[in-house]
Structure 1
Amino acid sequence: MVDGLNTETATTEELREQRAEILDAVTAHAGEIARELALLEGGDYGRRTFRTDRGEWTIKYEAGRLEFLLFESKSGAETYVVSTKQPPEPKALLDAMKSYDAFVEAYNEFVDSREGILDAVDTGFPEVTSTATIVDERDQIVAAIREVATDIAQQCYRYEGTDYGMFATTVDGTRWELKWEEGQVSYLRVGGEGGVYLLSQYSPPSAPDVRALAGDVGRFVAAFNDSVDELEVDLQEVSFSPDS
């Protein structure tokens, strides 16, 4: 018989159980630190490094939950005490845990350094000026624009002979588009695709946009009238004889 085959093989079960107990405790404890950091720093995810005499501890959290806890000794060795991968080797875990209390103390000092940092913030803010008057004026102007645009839409609906369409023209080099459907305005857009919607089925235009563009609405209407006049002239030139 080969020598050594009768030697009892050592098991690692007890050591693995001890490691699991330590890691469960560290995960729960460091998880509290992760939640507190997430609340303090106001983000769903982040990371922070704390220096100790024996090395650096980096804690990473996501959605307020501990993602990993890394210890980097001054010798350059890295130990992921807590991670989503395999647990650390027992000797590396032992070396890291010798500095764990110092890590917690460094975290506590970090929090203490923030105490009172907001005491000097003055929350006596100036009174907010109401925009009600501006909004009312904007809405009145937009209502007037919609009224004249609806007149154009109805005229287009009559002479185009289709349920929907668009009248487009250029005012001072800028494209204006009025899209209509069954005599109602779908939108009035200035500047083509990506431009400003003076009228739409959704939100109203901003007051600055109205101020910048309302003065050109008259020229847009004049351009429409010119197009109608031209069409009328063209139709007058059409001759038709039932006998021809």
Structure 2
Amino acid sequence: MTDTAPTTDTEGVTVPVPTADATVAERDRVVARVREHAGRLARELARLQGGDYGRRTFRVDGGEWTLKYEAGDLDFLRFEGRSGLDVYVVSQKTDPDAADLATAMDHYEAFAEAFDAHVDSLRGVLDGVPETFPDVATTGEVAAERDRIVSRMRDAADRMAAELHRVESTEYGTFGTTVAGTRWELKREADRASYVRAGGEGGVYLVSQYAPPSPGDVRTYAPEFRGFVEAFNEELAELGDALDGVEL
């Protein structure tokens, strides 16, 4: 039944004008019911897929339904029919055309059945999965050895920083050199080492205020650290030689 609203033309003749109130109300009722039902499907799908955000497409004889969820709640439900119909049955942005909604709803039951079939297809998928696993090997011994070597490197770096502080008398400074083709750099704050880095920008921090290096990096660079200290000692010796013969 079509609602009408009276209106009056310029000659005073009353002409009934149809309104869309009844159709809109019925559309909104259908959308609300679908939103509630598809919202439950979205929450179940989110649980099944293991995330708060995702989507899945379900194929039926008449086309495809795509359900998308965000934060575990329904974001949209879209139907793409084989006849070319493309309608967002549920959307956060717009309401569907009533005729398009009616066409899509002809295939909604098939969508619900496809969803159930998808869930059923996963029943028992974890049967036979082992519930016990091998013991996890401990890294305690490796980490302790790494820490022991890094601690000795830090002690040496701090002594280097203290010597630089004595001769440079500045709060901040660096010492850099190349050892076996690798660039090494010590940065200090007063008489303490801030870091020792091998490999230039983007290199490996063997001494750091943050995380320790990996055991593999220690294995690679620790042998060259000796050469870094030797180069430092040579530079200090050259400073001493430069003062030889100075008389006051």
- Place the TM-score, normalised by the shorter chain, in its bin: over 0.9
> Which of the numbers 165, 172, 177 marks the counterpart of 2:173?
165
88-97 or 152-161, which deviates more: 88-97
Report the CA distance between 1:85 and its aligned residue.
Answer: 2.7
Deviations 1:1-22 (A, max 9, x none): 8899523112221221111111
Question: Partners of 1:132 and 1:88 in 2: how far apart?
Answer: 62
Q: Map of 1:88-127 to 2, 5 A cutoff?
A: 88-127=96-135
Aligned partner of 2:58 among 26, 50, 53: 50
Match of 2:230 among 222, 233, 244: 222
* Cα drift, residue 82 of structure 1: 0.8
Structure 2 unmatched runs, 5+: 1-8
State the partner residue of 2:25.
Answer: 17
SS at match of 1:7: strand
Distance in 2 (CA, whole Å) between partners of 1:136 and 1:56 is 58
2:215 maps to amino acid: A
2:158 is aligned to 150
Residue of structure 1 in register with 2:141 after alignment = 133
Shift of 1:45: 2.1
CA distance in 2, matches of 1:121, 1:95: 44
* Aligned residue type for 1:221: V
- TM-score by length of structure 1 reads 0.92
Separation in 2 of the partners of 1:161 and 1:3?
102
Q: Does 1:32 align with 2:48?
A: no
Look up the SS of the partner of 1:88 in the other structure.
coil
Residue deviations 1:49-106, cap 9 Å, x none?
1122222211122222212111122211112111123212222211111211111000
CA RMSD of aligned residues (A): 1.8
Structure 2 length normalisation: TM-score? 0.91
Deviation at 1:201, TM superposition (A): 0.7
Q: Secondary structure at the match of 1:69?
A: strand
Name the count of aligned residue pairs. 240
1:207 aligns with 2:189: no
Give the match's secondary structure for 1:170: strand
2:203 corresponds to 1:195? yes
Q: Deviations over 1:153-210 (max 9, x none)?
A: 1111101111221111110011111111121111111111111111011111111111
Corresponding position of 1:176: 184
Distance change in 2, residues 1:5/1:33 (3 Å):
farther
Which of 89, 94, 116 in structure 2 is aligned with 1:86? 94
Deviations 1:20-53 (A, max 9, x none): 1111110111011111112211233222111222
Aligned pair partner of 2:80 in 67, 72, 76: 72
Q: Relative to total residues, which structure has the larger strand share, 1 or 2?
A: 2
Residue 112 of structure 1 and its aligned partner are, at CA, apart by 0.4
**Deviates most, 184-193 or 119-128:** 119-128
Residues 205-241 of structure 1: CA distance to partner in whole angstroms, max 9, x if unpaired?
Answer: 111111111111111111011111111111225x455
